[in-house]
Structure 1
């Protein structure tokens, strides 16, 4: 990790933090985090792709980690996040890039690919499938106690999280999202109540990792994180919305025990994405959770590097 450089990129009056490792002359790979993550979630993948001859770039989204928060976090949008990616790449002089994204970061990535296909050499999504924007259903038809629905409600998560220190909130979410069960609270429960204080961290997530996450969320808070992805409307991608096609080579990596599989298992296993992503390959990781890239970094790194090597001819030298 000592090789990772940290810089700030100015975008719309905000300083956005970017972690980077690898030669500037190498094909570039941009890593987009989910929630409750920041750039650090890609610590294993960044080093692996740099060692394989690629340039690894991992920004913190605005309002996350070491990036500045927007003046009005409650007005942050998916469009802001997509535009930030474009601005970061332009400022670094990168015309074409591989995109590796997880969780809601993949939703940002999908919009980026649809709006800027000429900038994309290939896409890897972890734990998140592509659903056409016009068919996107925020509630997933799940009960009122589903965590996504709870966090959509203004003030609900703020009150729930506010009972605990920031580090404990991150801890609880990591424990919850590492399980195969869908996080659903009873009528008289809050989401944080689903985790007992004595519950252990996942074996692959250390106290040092938790301290790093906790310190960065202590800095940023959760205002932007609750807005995007939970309360912001999905990005309007214009004319491509009704016939979205992502032609770039795409790899979907899903943990077999990721709770997302219980929500969209039929769609994933029926290759429903192939209608919109014709050059799609799907790989399932046995025993993999929603954080499969942190849980089994060596295996996931191998999958990523193999994909990048197979498609690096798509990046102009």
Structure 2
């Protein structure tokens, strides 16, 4: 496996991102970068990003969470951010991402976790919850889902998948901008492009849409069905917090509320002005929602 590492100079002068880097081994030849802020003895809030972002997406939420007395951990998925990047598309699979995330959680010895997951952060995080129920205490799902391929994917996803696999240059910063409701400054767009000096670094980012289970026989479809069996019995606190301007996951919050017992009685929120990358549009507000959710569900 050929592994690329983004040069450190790519991350110089990142706006609003003062966090010290940390690294965890998740395979014999792969290191996962993560942000780890707050007291090491505090209760953990695990923040999982999706496609094609990285922990920079959580820079507005992290200070709100740590100021409230919690420990915020935001890893960069393998292939993203400051984490190692296998160079070949064939090196990535849904299962491998799950194995890498499992190794990360085990390496840090995380327990009593409050999960916040968005986009692919949910496809990975909700599987982690189902397969490590004892390690998770609460869940906040935002603009995400756990697909099995049994429900037809919307046309918007079909088009996105085709675009991602065929576009000659995968425009990461532009993708983020198009899926937010706010106008991003040039330095913010540059920060999303920073992990990818050229196209050779983008195999992980490019392949992600092709790994989504979009037919009943997709790899991991059956495993996701099994995860839903666990989630349908999940009675621990589960909050949905979706943006009102995200056409990609619209309606998934209602599905979670119907299927997961832990959603009952929770203060589910639709965030005004929240696009797909809701952390970019309403980060501070999301941080407060997470903090209030934890306090309300001691």
Task: Give the TM-score taking structure 1 as reference length.
Answer: 0.76
Secondary structure of 2:50's match?
coil
Q: Report how far residue 89 of structure 1 moved.
A: 2.0
Q: 2:195 aligns with which of 216, 223, 228?
A: 216
* Aligned twin of 2:3: none
Quick check: 1:114 aligned with 2:130? yes
> Deviations along 1:34-58, whole A, 9 cap, x unmatched?
1121011000111111111111111
Compare 212-221 and 83-92 and name the one that shifted more.
212-221
Q: Please identify, of 37-46 and 228-237, the stretch whose mean Cα deviation from structure 2 is larger.
A: 228-237
Q: Does 1:177 align with 2:193?
A: no
Structure 1 Cα separation of the partners of residues 102 and 139 of structure 2? 15
1:80-99 mapped onto 2 (5 Å cutoff)? 80-99=96-115
Compared CA separation, residues 253 and 88, structure 1 to 2 (3 A) = same
- 8 Å CA contact 1:134–1:242 kept in 2: the answer is no
Aligned to 1:160: 167
Residues 114 and 237 in structure 1, CA contact (< 8 A), matched pair in contact too: no
1:6 pairs with 2:21: yes
Q: Contact between 1:39 and 1:58, CA under 8 Å: does it hold in 2?
A: yes
Contact 1:22 1:53 in 2 (8 A): yes
Contact 1:29 1:97 in 2 (8 A): yes
Structure 1 pair 177–122 and aligned structure 2 pair: CA distance change class (3 A): same
Q: Residue 62 of structure 1: which of 59, 78, 95 is its match?
A: 78
**1:174-215 deviations in whole A, cap 9, x for unaligned?**
232226xxxxxxxxxxxxxxxxxxxxxx33x22221111111
Distance between the aligned counterparts of 1:57 and 1:224, measured in 2? 21
Q: Is 1:27 the counterpart of 2:40 in the alignment?
A: no
Displacement of 1:101: 0.9
* 1:151–1:230 Cα contact (<8 Å) kept: no
Shift of 1:12: 1.1
**Residue correspondences, number:** 270
Query: How much does 1:292 deviate?
Result: 2.2
Whether 1:45 aligns to 2:61 is yes
Give 5+ residue unaligned stretches, structure 1: 180-201
Counterpart in the other structure of 1:184: none
Is the 1:177–1:259 contact (alpha carbons within 8 Å) kept by the matching residues of 2? no
Structure 2: runs of 5+ lacking an equivalent: 1-15, 214-218
Give CA deviations for 1:87-139 in whole Å, capped at 9, x if unaligned: 212222223311111112111111111111111111111112455x36354x3
Q: What is the RMSD computed on CA atoms of the aligned residues? A: 2.5
Query: What's 2:257 paired with?
Result: 274
Could you say if the C-alpha distance between residues 104 and 47 of structure 1 is closer, same or farther in structure 2, counting changes exceeding 3 Å? same
The answer as to 2:238 corresponding to 1:250 is yes
Cα distance change, pair 300–2 in 1 and its aligned pair in 2 (3 A): closer
Which of the two has higher C-alpha Rg?
1
For 2:141, the equivalent position in structure 1 comes to 125
Q: CA deviation at 1:241?
A: 4.8
SS class of match (1:299): helix
User: Which of 282, 285, 296 does residue 296 from structure 1 map onto?
Assistant: 282
